[in-house]
Amino acid sequence: MEIKAFAKINLYLDVVGKRDDGYHDLVTVMQSVSLCDVITAEADDHINLTCSDESIPCDSRNIAWKCAAAFFDKTGLTGGVRLHIEKHIPSQAGLGGGSADGAAVLHALNRIYSAGLSVSELAVIGGTVGADIPFCVTGGCCLCTGTGEVYAELEDRRLYLCIAKGSGGISTAQAYGAVDALEECVHQSEKDVLEQYRENRLPLYNIFEKAAEGVKDVYLLKEHFSHLGVPSLMTGSGSAVFGVFESIQKAAKAAEKLRRMGFFAEPAETI
């Protein structure tokens, strides 16, 4: 079977604390978008994985592999799966590509093996592998707190985007280290963020932008979108930036120009 693994963007992202175990507490609004990888899955005796991107590990380090292993471990089912990932979501971008792949694998295995698990049960399995996977299993638009647990599902809003990224990336460890080094920040409450969203105001904010001020590609993309007169935001811990346009046609035109400038750029819309 073939299944799409949809990327996510963060419309709002704040780090509000650090736990004793080293994990960070977040408040974030995550939104699924149409940019996606494509996963091909079929039953097999063991877990086997291939990928169109040679830089992606195709063994137990891969999140899709880990999710497959977690599915069989938690359900007690015997068997395996042969997986192929056709990559379109760039890595080290803050777009949740690996988490999206893992979530898609969980959905695929649930169907292939007729396991009958609910979305919430799949999300629990995904949560044992990575913090963003429960959201990617659920999809749509959600306010998430803690390390990424879904706190409240929000009404989807139709947005037309140009998602762009330079050649460089930002490691998650590097990004969180930079945030930890920031001086005292003022944080909004979950209630305030929800109120903004429900009043049809996009709460566009990402604390990681402060930590990425020295990243040239992020600066250039933000500046480019500003010249076009559209709001923009870096997503996740970076380094992809999205601009919000009035139509998919205008987003596509912007993406075409950015590709000519040497950036990865794709039009997308919320789903």
At which residue do the structure tokens 């086997």 appear?
48
Measured in residues, the chain has a length of 271
- The whole-number pLDDT of residue 6 equals 98
- The whole-number pLDDT of residue 213 equals 72
- In the CATH scheme, what is the code of domain 2-154? 3.30.230.10
- Residue 218: closest CA among 227, 203, 208: 208
Contact 258, 164 (CB under 8 A): yes
Residue 234 phi, psi dihedral angles, 5° rounding:
-75, 145
Catalytic residue among 14, 37, 101, 132: 132
Over the stretch 102-111, which tens digit does the pLDDT of each residue have?
999 999 999 9
- Residue 9: closest CA among 126, 115, 93: 93
Residue 150 has pLDDT above 80, yes or no: no
The top-level CATH class assigned to 160-269 is alpha beta
> How confident is the model over 194-219, as a mean pLDDT?
86
Q: Considering only 37-51, 78-92, 94-108, 160-174, which range has the smallest mean pLDDT? A: 160-174
Alpha-carbon dihedral of residues 204, 210, 216, 217, nearest 10 degrees? Answer: -30
> How far apart are alpha carbons 48 and 17 in whole angstroms?
39
> How far apart are alpha carbons 119 and 209 in whole angstroms?
32
Over the stretch 152-206, which tens digit does the pLDDT of each residue have?
889 888 999 999 999 877 777 778 888 888 877 778 888 888 888 888 888 899 9
- The whole-number pLDDT of residue 242 equals 98
- The whole-number pLDDT of residue 193 equals 86
Domain limits, the chain: 2-154, 160-269
Let me know if 37 is a catalytic residue: no
Q: Is 92 helix (H, G, I), strand (E, B) or coil?
A: coil
Over the stretch 244-257, which tens digit does the pLDDT of each residue have?
999 999 999 999 99
Q: List all residues 6 or more positions away from 199 whose beta carbon is below 8 Å from its beta carbon.
A: none
Report the helix count and the strand count for the chain, using DSSP H and E. 9, 11
- The whole-number pLDDT of residue 191 equals 84
Let me know if 132 is a catalytic residue: yes
Catalytic residue among 8, 66, 165, 217: 8
- The whole-number pLDDT of residue 110 equals 98
Over the stretch 59-85, which tens digit does the pLDDT of each residue have?
999 999 999 999 999 999 999 999 999
